[in-house]
Structure formats: structure tokens, C-alpha cells
Structure 1
Amino acid sequence: MFKQMEAARLESLHIAQDEKTGLRGIIAIHSTRRGPALGGCRFLSYPNEQAALQDAIRLAQGMSYKAALAGLELGGGKSVILRPAHVDDRAALFEAFGRFIDSLDGRYITAMDSGTSSEDMDCIAQYTQHVTSTTRAGDPSPHTALGVFAGLRATAAARFGSDDLDGLRVAIQGLGHVGYALAEHLQAAGAELFVSDIDAGKVQLAVEQLGARAVASEALLSTPCDILAPCGLGGVLDRSTVAKLRCGAIAGAANNQLANPEMGDELDARGILYAPDYVINAGGLIYVALTHQGRNSGEITAQLSHISQRLTEIYAEAQAHKRSPARVADSLAERLVFAD
């Protein structure tokens, strides 16, 4: 555990268990140098406790980098709750988690994430003010999609010489709240869509409403396209899948798309332009952070524009120094997070 913390330069790790509600939760705080650590709460079934711990640590690090490159005065953290086979009282479980968060005295602010909802955040909010993405604050997914759409246009400009998406072939893996909203933006911009999801109903909806072409989940990554947009869970770009890619660029909403840092180098060697995930998908974080601070919609929209600007800077530096965009983004984020 300590080796994992050291490798990620994690600031602290907090674990709580509540026998009455079945809560088994982990909060990983990567850094509070720039401000309180903000990051969502996942409620998922994990194969074991080590997998949950690894997920929390890696995601917390990504949140630090994301906040820094988005220009937010925040640190990064993440929480995971190991989902039991049966939940007797979901509300009570999240209320217990709210008490756990409150015990950290504001060092960590939570939000909705995979497996959690605004209603879950409402339960947490009964016991702590260090929470956003409540039903009152609103769903951050549309803002994540807006940021990814803007970043995808910046990626198209860098890779193909124009940010005009009309006729561009985009393959979207995952049609959740963000993936489907992104598909709507792309369809309005004239892109040709290829889609997959484990939920056949969502795929059929995209076919009927957006004119998308359905692709089997196992075939989506090898589908010939201009831009691949991973919008599901992380780890999809490993040695096996990268070898099968037939795209010019990758720009999607999923966190931790690279199975390991070397995959960014492999993509670069193959001439595939990669939009670092924690840069392009920062729209949701921007929304929940500024909403929590009481900022208005104009300020939120202005901050979203930083996403495409930051990506353009990263691509230019990557080209100038013959490095992968993933390496450039990591270096820049580390300088910002750990600046003295």
C-alpha cells in the first residue's frame, strides 16, 4: 500500500467501515497544495480490495492533474465505496459516508461518479457541506460532454488541419450520460457516428435519433475512423487494443484510458494523436467546482474554454519536443501541482 502511495506521490489515504450499513469506503487524497481535494465517489463492485485501492489512488492523481491543468485552485482526490452484493438501505450507507467525509474537515470534497447519483449526494449532504453534484447543484455530465466536444475539435484541428467536424468519422465507445450527449453534439456538427455500448437500448436510440451506425462492442476499437472517443470505463488502451486501432486520433471522456504510461508513447509512435483524458474531460470538474464556489454560468462557460486552449498548447509542445502529448501533459501538471 505504501509503495503505491509513494509511486503516485499520494498525500494521504483514509479508510472507513460501518458494519450497520455495510459501508466499506476509501478516500485517496493526492494533493491539497492548490486547495481542497475534489473528486467523485464511485460505487462499484470490485474483484477485491486491492483493485478498489488501486482505482482510488490512480484516479486521485488524475484529479490533481486535471484540476491543475484546468486552472482551478483545487487539489485532487477520489473515493470509492465497495458495492456489496446486497444493499439493505442505500440512503443510510451514503449518510454514513457523509459522516466519514465530514471527519476530514474539508480536506476532501466529493461529487457523483460511476455508480452514484445526485440523490446519493443529497444523502451525503445531510451530514457534510463538503459535497457537490447534489440535485440542487445539477448533473455535471452535460458540461463534461461540452468540454470533450470542444477538445475533440481542437484535436481535429491539430491532427487534420481543421476543426470542422462535418463528415468526420467518430467512433464512440460508451453511450452513458456523457457519451450520448457528446454524440448529440457531434451529430449536430455533421460528424458520421459509429457507436457501441453494452446496453443495446442505448445503441438503438442513437441509431434512431442520431443516425449512428451500430458496432459490436468488441469491434468498436478496431473500426476505421478519424477519431476514436472512449467514453466508458478506463484501461481500454492496452498493448493488445492499441495494436488494433485504425484511427487518426483519440479524444474521449473516459478516465484513465491508458492501461499504463507507455501506451501514450506507443500511440505517438503509431502517429495516433492522443488527447490526455484528464485534460479533455475536465468540464464536469469545472462545473462542480465552480458551482460549489457559487460562481455563475458565465464564469463556468469561460473556464470551459481553457480545455481546448490547453490541449492546443500540449499538442504544440509535444510536436516541438518530439514527445507524446500524454508525457507533456503529465510533466506540465506535475510542475503545477508540486510547485514550491
Structure 2
Amino acid sequence: MSVFDHKEFDNHERVSFWHDKASGLQAIIAVHDTHLGPALGGCRMWPYSSSAEALTDVLRLSKGMTYKNAMAELPLGGGKSVIIGDPRQIKTPAMMESMGRFVDSLGGSYFTAEDSGISVDDLHSMAKQSKYIAGINAKYRYDGQPSDGNPAPSTAYGVFVGIQAAVRHAFSSDLNGLTVAIQGLGHVGYRLAEHLHKAGAKLVVADIYRDNTARVEQAFGATVVPAEEITTYPADVLAPCAMGATISEESVNMIQAKVIAGAANNQLSTELIGEQLLDRGVLYAPDYVINAGGVIDIYHQRFDSNPDDLKAHIERIGDNLSAIFTRSANEKMATNRVANLIAEERFKHN
């Protein structure tokens, strides 16, 4: 099947494939749209079951980055890259350097950064071969603490701010005493759990790696449940922070949470799921709006900014979501559709 015929192909400007036999690297870069500026989106390494699965993911993720950067009011387009393989098993510095050459081959139309399975050290290896690697020269964090370059603290804080906005809209309350089910406890999920714990939320968590759940269980008194049960757990808030498409035709009617708000990209398996959530009275925080803290951080680090301006920009995520929720309620339109309309007004008419 041609890429052009793929169900997730959405007039992408470029889809590139890279195979380096020496390092074992198999990777794909998708550039969705560059009308607002060069495409920015992280590099994800994941043990995909097939190259077809990897292609589906990178097409969806790159499109999501176009919408995310537009909604975050950044002069950037959308792109994404994926590496096929288990980062805990086969990742090497040579592979990361090869990935740097791949990024460099696009001549600056695409900048990459950290994402699932990729560390700041990996980015430094890529940067040996390309100047188009972002997130490696961070000077500060939104809270004034020193930064190691990982934008996860900003992503987690933005998701936390977004959950607060969603809870205010859905429950007219704060988080104290509410139950939040977190799916995925990586760089972002763990930090989100910390914010939620400090705000008085009760945590229920799941992750495919036992060491991740044990860490949150010990630090924050979280209840651990099997990964297959977290989506339908009877929580007030469901926070997907792992892979995408977890809200599907199979799961949507079993969800018991009244709010879905998390860090994962492409949480809805199709856009039609948004209408089903609206009909069921479940408030959905569009993923690319709530999880934009990381790209906001990367943007501020590249220019003459400071922790206070970065924090204020991240906190606008809550304002953006509140506006989406209000318009959704007034127009009886799914929140994902409302967000899409606003984003498209920004990048399609520029």
C-alpha cells in the first residue's frame, strides 16, 4: 500500500524512511505541515510490532504536532520521528548518531527532540551529526530549577494545569479528594503523579514496567492495578500518559471517569470518539492542547526567555482548555472538534 493511500495520511509534506544496516537503525520521519515555520516534534523509540504500525503512529503524531504547535501559539509546524525497536534492549550511541544523520538529511525542515524511549543523552549523540536537534541546551526550568534539557517537567506541569481546568469545569472543585487513574508512568507520568499527589488527589496507576509502578506506589501511596484495567477504572479523572489510541470503539462505553485528561498523544482512536464522549457526558481535554508544555519549553529555551515567561506560557494551557470547554458546551460540539477548528484557523490561513 502506498503512503498516500494510508488512512492516516493527511496531505503530509514529507514522509522519509531510513535504514542503517551498520547500526541497526530503522526509522521514519513525517513532516505534516510547515506553514507556520519549521516542523518540530520529538523522536520516539518503541518496539512496534511492524513497520506498518510505526508508520501509522508517525503519521498520526506528526499531524498532532501541527495542531499542538498552532494551539500553543508557536511559530512552528508539525513533524515527528519514530525508531523501531525496544529502547531498553537495542539502543546504542551509534544508532543515535545515525538518527542524527537522518534528521540532518532533511536540511532543517524538521527539528527533533526527546520523546518516549529517547533521553537527553541520546539527543546529544544525534547532535554530533546534526544541528537540528532541540532540547539539548536548556538553561532553566519553569520552576527556576536547573534543567538537564528534558522538557518532561514542563509537559507534566502543563498537563497538571490542564487537569485542574477540566476538574473545575466538570466538578466545580479542585483536585483534593478526587481519584485520578494514570496510565503510563514514564518521564511525564511520574512527574504528573507528583503534582496530583501534592494537590490531594488519590492515585490509581498502571504501567507495563513494574519498576515504574513500584516507584509511584512507594513515593505517593498510589494503588497499582493491571494495565488492562486502568482505562475502565472507576476514577473521577482518567489520565492517559502512555501510547495513543487507548480511547477506542471497544473501550469508550466502558470508561467510568467523568474527565479524560492526560499527556499521551492521539488518545482517541478516531475523531468520532469525541462525539461519543460528548454524548456520554465525559469531558475530554484534547491531547495536543493539554500536553503542549514540552514544545513550549523547547521554544523558550531557543530564544531569549526566562522561567517566569515560560511558566506563564505553560499556564495558558488551562485558559485554552477552559475556552474549548465553554465553546463545546455552548455549541454542543465535541471538544476535539472545537480544538481542531481553532488550530486550523491558525495554520491554514496564515
Pick the TM interval, shorter chain: over 0.9
Q: Could you say which residue in structure 1 is the equivalent of 2:39?
A: 37
Between the aligned partners of 2:258 and 2:86, the Cα distance in structure 1 is 41
Does structure 2 retain, via aligned residues, the 8 Å contact 1:63–1:76? Answer: yes
Gaps of 5+ in 1: none
Between the aligned partners of 2:189 and 2:102, the Cα distance in structure 1 is 32
1:47 aligned to which of 49, 71, 74 = 49
Q: Could you say which residue in structure 2 is the equivalent of 1:205?
A: 215
Between the aligned partners of 1:85 and 1:196, the Cα distance in structure 2 is 20
* 1:126-170 deviation line (CA, Å, top 9, x unaligned): 1211112337651111111100000000000111123x1111111
1:201–1:20 distance in 2 versus 1, CA, 3 Å: closer
Aligned runs of 1:252-271 on 2, under 5 Å? 252-271=262-281
Does structure 2 retain, via aligned residues, the 8 Å contact 1:122–1:135? Answer: no
* 1:53-76 deviation line (CA, Å, top 9, x unaligned): 111111000000000001111000
Residue type at the aligned position of 1:21: S
Q: Could you say which residue in structure 1 is the equivalent of 2:235?
A: 225
* 1:23-59 deviation line (CA, Å, top 9, x unaligned): 2221100111101100011122222222211111110
1:188 aligned to which of 176, 194, 198 = 198
Measured after TM superposition, the shift of residue 84 of structure 1 is 7.6
2:305 aligned to which of 266, 291, 295 = 295
Between the aligned partners of 2:16 and 2:300, the Cα distance in structure 1 is 26
Q: Could you say which residue in structure 1 is the equivalent of 2:71?
A: 69
Q: Percent identity?
A: 43
Tell me if 1:140 matches 2:142: no
Between the aligned partners of 2:40 and 2:12, the Cα distance in structure 1 is 14
Does structure 2 retain, via aligned residues, the 8 Å contact 1:5–1:57? Answer: no
Tell me if 1:337 matches 2:339: no
* 1:230-268 deviation line (CA, Å, top 9, x unaligned): 111111111121111111111111111111111111111
1:152 aligned to which of 155, 158, 163 = 163
Q: Which moved more, 1:111-120 or 1:196-205?
A: 196-205
Between the aligned partners of 1:151 and 1:21, the Cα distance in structure 2 is 40
Between the aligned partners of 2:149 and 2:45, the Cα distance in structure 1 is 19
Count of matched residue pairs: 339
Tell me if 1:282 matches 2:284: no
Q: Could you say which residue in structure 1 is the equivalent of 2:283?
A: 273
Aligned runs of 1:157-168 on 2, under 5 Å? 157-162=168-173, 164-168=174-178
Tell me if 1:92 matches 2:94: yes
Question: What is the TM-score with the length of structure 1 in the denominator?
Answer: 0.94
Residue type at the aligned position of 2:105: S
Does structure 2 retain, via aligned residues, the 8 Å contact 1:21–1:88? Answer: no
Q: Which moved more, 1:317-326 or 1:133-142?
A: 133-142
Between the aligned partners of 1:270 and 1:6, the Cα distance in structure 2 is 26
Local SS of the residue matching 1:111: coil
Measured after TM superposition, the shift of residue 98 of structure 1 is 1.2
Residue type at the aligned position of 2:150: D
* 1:267-287 deviation line (CA, Å, top 9, x unaligned): 111100000011101111111
Does structure 2 retain, via aligned residues, the 8 Å contact 1:21–1:89? Answer: no
Local SS of the residue matching 1:94: helix
Gaps of 5+ in 2: 139-147
Q: Could you say which residue in structure 1 is the equivalent of 2:109?
A: 107
Between the aligned partners of 1:42 and 1:278, the Cα distance in structure 2 is 16
Local SS of the residue matching 1:26: strand
* 1:285-321 deviation line (CA, Å, top 9, x unaligned): 1112221335322221121022101101111111111
Local SS of the residue matching 1:156: helix
1:114–1:281 distance in 2 versus 1, CA, 3 Å: same
Between the aligned partners of 1:302 and 1:166, the Cα distance in structure 2 is 24
Between the aligned partners of 2:262 and 2:91, the Cα distance in structure 1 is 35
Measured after TM superposition, the shift of residue 3 of structure 1 is 2.6
Does structure 1 retain, via aligned residues, the 8 Å contact 2:45–2:86? Answer: no
Measured after TM superposition, the shift of residue 228 of structure 1 is 0.8
